[in-house]
């Protein structure tokens, strides 16, 4: 299963570790590494539906759900209808 947030759509990125000393000498021995999303598997009870829903959501997505409400956010993301 891909590591993608179901709310925000965030996914992993590839980036290089690049120190200031490396930048000064124009030599890149570090290579690239994959930076993963901070995903959490959460089970939420949605009172409007009367049931529990399990979602893979990033920490930013959790903040969004806390701000806008779980049902409204899940409906906007197309997880519930």
Local structure of 4: helix, strand or coil: coil
* pLDDT score at 15: 83
- What's the domain count of the chain? 1
* pLDDT score at 72: 95
DSSP string of 25-51, one letter each residue: HT---S-EEEEPP-EEEEEEEETTTTE
* pLDDT score at 11: 96
**Residue 33's domain is classified under what CATH number?**
2.30.170
* pLDDT score at 21: 72
Axis-axis angle for helices 59-68, 70-77 (nearest 10):
120
CA 36 to chain centre: 8
pTM of the model: 0.76
Query: Does 55 fall in a domain?
Result: yes
Query: Does 4 fall in a domain?
Result: no
Question: Residue 8: phi, psi to the nearest 5?
Answer: -95, -20
Query: Does 52 fall in a domain?
Result: yes
* pLDDT score at 28: 62
Query: Does 7 fall in a domain?
Result: no
**Structural domain that includes position 24:** 13-77
**What's the pLDDT tens digit per position in 24-76?**
776 666 678 899 999 999 999 999 999 999 999 999 999 999 999 999 999 99
Query: Does 62 fall in a domain?
Result: yes
């Amino acid at each position: 299963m891909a590591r993608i947030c179901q709310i925000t759509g965030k996914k992993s990125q590839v980036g290089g570790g690049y120190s200031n000393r490396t930048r000064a000498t124009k030599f890149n021995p570090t290579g690239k590494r994959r930076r993963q999303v901070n995903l959490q598997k959460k089970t939420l009870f949605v009172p409007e539906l009367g049931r529990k829903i399990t979602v893979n959501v990033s920490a930013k997505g959790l903040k969004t759900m806390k701000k806008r409400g779980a049902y409204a956010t899940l409906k906007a993301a197309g997880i519930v209808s």
